[in-house]
Structures are given as C-alpha cells and as structure tokens.
C-alpha cells in the first residue's frame, strides 16, 4: 500500500468508490446526508521505526525484573513440592502417564 495514497484514490474502477457513488457520493464532497464529513482521504503515516502505539522508549529494568520474577517462581514451586508429599505422588503419576502415552505411539 502506498503511504501517499494517490494511486488508489484516483482509481475510478475501485469497488468502494463505485458503491459510494451509487449511494450519492460525489468526488470532492464530504460524506453524510448534509455532506458534513471530511473531504480528503484518510492518510497514513509511515512508521519506519516499527514501534507500537503509545511506545515511549525502552524499559531497561524489564529484563532484570523478569529474570528475578522467574527465579522466585521456580523457588516457590520447588519448595511447595518438597513440603507436600501428595504433590510428589501426583507429579510421579504424571510422569508415568506421559511415558505410557509415549509407548502407545
């Protein structure tokens, strides 16, 4: 798609243009029953940096925060399994189930 939008806006064979003309629109007039809408095409602005809407800059601490959070979650899971014998039985059953499913293939 062209950012300047000139080629498609001048194309008279465009299906959208044909439909609008069929409903009464004329080139150079605004949309609406009183022609109160905008006259010019909506234009695009090229985004060469490939940043998203609302981007304000890199957050430097995010990677460090993510690594600390994941290590805390790993420690919490390890401690809960060590303290709970039922969790050990459930996890061993899951391993056995996975092995039996692998044998069936």
pLDDT in tens, the chain (105 residues): 555 556 666 777 888 888 888 888 888 888 888 888 888 777 777 777 777 777 777 666 667 777 888 888 877 655 555 555 655 565 666 666 776 666 665
| Residue 37 and residue 77 share a domain | no
Regarding whether 41 and 4 lie in a shared domain, the answer is yes
Contact 35, 29 (CB under 8 A): yes
CA dist 49 to 52, 57, 77, 96, Å? Answer: 9, 12, 40, 50
pLDDT number for residue 3: 55
| 38 within a domain of the structure (yes/no) | yes
Radius of gyration, CA atoms only, the chain: 30
Residue 30 is predicted with a pLDDT of: 84
User: Could you tell me if 33 and 71 lie in one domain?
Assistant: no
């Amino acid at each position: 798609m062209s950012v300047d939008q000139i080629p498609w806006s001048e194309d008279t064979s465009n299906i959208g243009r044909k439909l609008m003309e069929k409903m009464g629109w004329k080139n150079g007039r605004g949309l609406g029953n009183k022609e109160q809408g905008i006259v010019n095409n909506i234009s695009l602005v090229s985004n060469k940096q490939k940043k998203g809407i609302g981007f304000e800059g890199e957050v430097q601490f995010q990677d460090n925060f993510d690594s600390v959070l994941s290590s805390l979650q790993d420690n919490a899971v390890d401690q809960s399994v060590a303290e709970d014998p039922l969790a050990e039985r459930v996890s061993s059953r899951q391993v056995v189930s996975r092995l039996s499913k692998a044998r069936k293939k």
